[in-house]
């Protein structure tokens, strides 16, 4: 796979929000995109989970039961655990916590703008949890063949996030 990254856009969270749109970043210029999500933290002391929904070509957030994912949580102190779904209405990642812990996430998105293909994703995340650290590896697919132009990062609980930066790159 090619490894040259072409910067497309950054979006920064600077106040308490439950979702943030990163729109108009997928085009026919690239087949593969790399996204970093860094410095995210919650507004309270309870963890919340990062999730993703894509934005279709008309600007509508795709929120049907069309997301599949499989996640492996890699802990240095306890047994590895899995989370998976074949009927989710979002791409699930793992938790983030109040600063200074937070979390970092990076993922590749494959063929989001191609209306004849499903949109696939691979991701990895690191986070602080219960005084230790976790590594997360996962895969996902949005299984409708449609053209997608962006995505939304959101939390689905009542614990919004208040800091973070999302950067999108095309892979050349």
pLDDT of residue 102: 64
C-beta of residue 162 within 8 angstroms of C-beta of residue 41: yes
Confidence of residue 40 (pLDDT cuts 50, 70, 90): confident
How many structural domains are present in the chain? Answer: 1
- Chain segment 119-161, per-residue pLDDT in tens: 999 999 887 766 677 788 999 999 999 999 999 998 877 777 7
Average pLDDT over residues 87-113: 83
Report the chain's mean pLDDT, rounded to a whole number: 88
Q: Domain range spanning residue 99?
A: 5-171
For residue 46, what pLDDT band results from cuts at 50, 70 and 90? low
Predicted TM-score of the model (pTM): 0.91
pLDDT of residue 130: 65
């Amino acid at each position: 796979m090619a490894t040259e990254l072409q910067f497309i856009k950054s979006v920064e969270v600077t106040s308490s929000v439950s979702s943030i749109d990163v729109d108009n970043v997928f085009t026919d210029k690239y087949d593969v995109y790399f996204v970093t999500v860094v410095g995210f933290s919650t507004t309270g002391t309870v963890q919340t989970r990062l999730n993703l929904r894509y934005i279709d070509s008309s600007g509508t957030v795709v929120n049907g039961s069309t997301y599949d994912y499989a996640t492996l949580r890699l802990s240095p102190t306890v047994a590895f655990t899995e989370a998976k779904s074949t009927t989710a209405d979002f791409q699930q990642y793992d938790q983030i916590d109040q600063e200074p812990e937070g979390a970092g996430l990076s993922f590749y998105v494959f063929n989001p703008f191609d209306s004849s293909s499903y949109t696939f994703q691979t991701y990895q995340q690191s986070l602080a949890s219960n005084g230790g650290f976790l590594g997360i590896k996962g895969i996902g697919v949005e299984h409708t063949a449609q053209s997608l132009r962006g995505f939304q990062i959101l939390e689905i609980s009542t614990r919004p996030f208040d800091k973070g930066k999302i950067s999108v790159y095309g892979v050349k």
